[in-house]
Structure 1
Amino acid sequence: MCDVKKLIRKRDGSEDPVYFASIEHSFDIIQKAHIATGHGGRDKMMKELSKKYANITQEAVTIFKSSCVPCQQKKKRTTTKGVVVKPITSTDFGARA
């Protein structure tokens, strides 16, 4: 049987343990939380991650979210609609001046 050692936060009473994630495993942890929230945003992911992990930062989640291809594809892009301009029609050059 393999023994896995994990560092946990000090807990009060019968709380579930909150783990400290290693740097090597943080990408996989954030990815699992991102998929579990249905490609959710930063706040949804932070809420999900704070249940089990203590040291995952918002910066790491933001960087991961910016590199997620499906999230970038469904990101709303604001399109500026051009102003419709009616052309001035005149009969002679300088007729309106």
Structure 2
Amino acid sequence: MPDSKEQVFREKLNLERSASKVNSLVLSKLKYDSYIEKVTSLKTSSKKENNDLRFLRRYDIIEVSGITKLIHPVTDQENIKYYVFDEELFGVLNEAHISTGHGGRDRMIEQLKGKFQNVTTKDILLFLRLCEPCIQKLNHKKKGRLVVKLLLFKEVKSRCQVDLIDFQSQSDRDFQFIMVY
């Protein structure tokens, strides 16, 4: 039984997928299984059309501990990149997110791009919007620091300098800035 966070993720994912255009990267479990069957039948058949060859350049299969998985065809020096169907997407994203120490978008993309072919940035951002520790980290107010660069002049009263000190995080009633002249 999936937990509530996974259920919310699946609902939002389904809503997002239904609103977007048809995308070949989006794979439901049914579509995933049909692609595995199609690859299997195309590999055994002798007569192939152009569409079949194009399909085989995009998809291949591999058996891992008795389970047939859909992969991107492997070339000489390339790692195996798996395709993920929507029902297992949450688990893949959660594992990558935890292994990067609640890493953000870029760290997760870097972690996942070598292993999975069809995990998109939108999927990662959707997942990150549901991670409570990451949301709290983003909502944390940051204290601003003001760096002043000194200006030196030879003549007296030839220039002036105005600086603003930001006290928005620690405002005094209606006063949020201090101006130094």
> In proportion to residue count, which structure has more strand?
2
* Separation of aligned partners in 1, 2:93 and 2:100: 11
Give structure 2 stretches of 5+ with no counterpart. 1-64, 144-167
- Give yes or no for the alignment of 1:9 onto 2:58: no
- The equivalent of 2:86 in structure 1 is 23
- Could you say what secondary structure the match of 1:6 adopts? strand
Q: CA deviation at 1:78?
A: 5.3
- The equivalent of 2:132 in structure 1 is 69
> In proportion to residue count, which structure has more helix?
2
Structure 2 CA distance for partners of 1:74 and 1:14, relative to 1, 3 Å? same
- The equivalent of 2:12 in structure 1 is none
Q: Which has the higher contact order (CA 8 A, sep 6+)?
A: 1
Runs of 4+ off more than 4 Å: none
Structural RMSD (CA): 2.0
Q: How does 1:1-97 map to 2 (within 5 A)?
A: 3-75=66-138, 76-77=140-141, 80-81=168-169, 82=171, 83=175
Structure 2 CA distance for partners of 1:3 and 1:74, relative to 1, 3 Å? same
* Separation of aligned partners in 1, 2:75 and 2:105: 28
* Separation of aligned partners in 1, 2:98 and 2:130: 14
Q: CA deviation at 1:84?
A: 5.3
Amino acid at match of 1:45: M
TM-score (norm 2): 0.43
Aligned length: 84
Amino acid at match of 1:77: K
Give structure 1 stretches of 5+ with no counterpart. 86-97
% identity of equivalent residues: 33
- Could you say what secondary structure the match of 1:35 adopts? helix
